[in-house]
Amino acid sequence: MADTAAMMETSIDPIALRRAFGTFVTGVTVITTVDEDGTPRGMTANSFTSVSLNPPLLLVCVAKSASSYQAFTNSDCFAVNILHEGQVDVSATFASKSPDKFQSVNHDRIHTGAPVLTDSLTWFDCSVFNRMDAGDHAILIGEVRAFGTSPTAPLGFCRGRYASVKDPLPAGWIASHGMIIGYLIEATDHLLLRSDGKGGWVLPTAKRRKADSQLVVDEGGALRLLPDNTFLYSVFDVADSDPGYLIYRARLADEGMPADLPAGLKFFHVDEIPYEQVPTHELRSMLRRYVRERREMRFGIYMDSDDGGRVAMIDGEAHAWMQSSHE
């Protein structure tokens, strides 16, 4: 029996086997990590699968022949970035030996420190849960610490070539199609932020903007604002979220900071905003712009666009519409 088993093993044609494996239609991912020097490393891979929801686990396979193999096996974190149908060039770049793979893609560090490709279809930021040796590959099992997704069509791969995937978005896939209303609420030299429950900080939100002195926030409770000092500040989308964002800037009506804030809300001094704990690049950029413009008390309105957006600066003090219409 032992001789028969050995003969069966040696009779497997690895090229034919690879072709047979290739008939399984997969998505395309770019897996990323950092090496010991903190340099981002990444490679294209399609050996990816979900493993568990509780705890949230996934796995990827890394070839021992890959130039970034040591970086992946030595790091305690990695990210899996699933590509969408418009990212064939990204797949090709990360499958190459290019030393500047990250120069042509938008990337950020979200939770673990692994570089996340923020324009991808879906990303998973993971800490290493387990490693296993498996022939000419290593299996990395990651525990998902953060993730994001978008409603675009995936990039497929089958029989050694890219494949188009017809992907009508199922009803209810993204729960909300309305705008998320966020607030930059200032008191003295402090800005109000909300815990996202995952160790990060975001803006407080409300159901809708009301032009009165009381704002009911989603976190519970109400805040008294100066209605004449509430203005639109930014309109943008986030790549991993379907709803758009409307951001207003406002000030508390009361002097000082209230002692009875709803749970999860906290004021930060404008010079001590925890940018590294803000989960998205878009929100970090907006907060930095707000602090910068606040120094000069000259604010702009940001509108999102394909080439990075537009900012229209506003000069002069605000005054009532009736006053301006008669000037």
More confident residue, 207 or 154: 154
More confident residue, 88 or 239: 88
Is the residue at 172 inside a domain?
A: no
Domain's final residue, options 115, 138, 164: 164
Residues 220 and 280 in one domain: yes
Res 327 pLDDT > 50:
no
CATH code of the domain covering residue 240: 3.90.79.10
Residues 159 and 207 in one domain: no
- pLDDT value at position 209? 55
- pLDDT value at position 161? 80
Is the residue at 3 inside a domain?
A: no
Is the residue at 15 inside a domain?
A: no
- pLDDT value at position 176? 43
Range of the domain at 269: 180-315
Three-state SS string across the chain, please?
CHHHHHHHHHCCCHHHHHHHHCCCCEECEEEEEECCCCCEEEEEECCEEEEEECCEEEEEEEECCCCCHHHHHHCCEEEEEECECCCHHHHHHHHCCCCCHHHHCCEEECCCCCEEECCCCEEEEEEEEEEEEECCEEEEEEEEEEEEECCCCEEEEECCEEEECCCCCCCCCCCCCCCEEEEEEEECCEEEEEECCCCCEECCEECCCCCCCEEEECCCCEEEECHHHCEEEEEEECCCCCCEEEEEEEEECCCCCCCCCCCCEEEEECCCCCHHHCCCHHHHHHHHHHHHHHHHCCCEEEECCCCCCEEEECCCCCCCHHHHHCC
- pLDDT value at position 126? 94
CATH code of the domain covering residue 150: 2.30.110.10
Mean of the per-residue pLDDT values of the chain: 81
Residues 47 and 133 in one domain: yes
Task: For residues 166-178, give the mean pLDDT.
Answer: 55
Residues 141 and 229 in one domain: no
- The pLDDT tens digits for 121-136 are 889 999 999 999 988 8
Residues 81 and 28 in one domain: yes
Residues 159 and 194 in one domain: no
Q: 239 falls in which pLDDT band (50, 70, 90)?
A: low
Lowest mean per-residue pLDDT among 21-30, 120-129, 165-174: 165-174
Residues 149 and 260 in one domain: no
Residues 119 and 233 in one domain: no
Kindly state the percentage of the chain with pLDDT values over 70. 81
Is the residue at 225 inside a domain?
A: yes
More confident residue, 176 or 24: 24
Domain's final residue, options 164, 190, 214: 164
Is the residue at 12 inside a domain?
A: no
Is the residue at 297 inside a domain?
A: yes
- pLDDT value at position 162? 83
Residues 97 and 147 in one domain: yes
Q: 320 falls in which pLDDT band (50, 70, 90)?
A: low
Is the residue at 101 inside a domain?
A: yes
Number of domains present in the structure of the chain: 2
Lowest mean per-residue pLDDT among 7-11, 19-23, 27-31, 190-194: 7-11
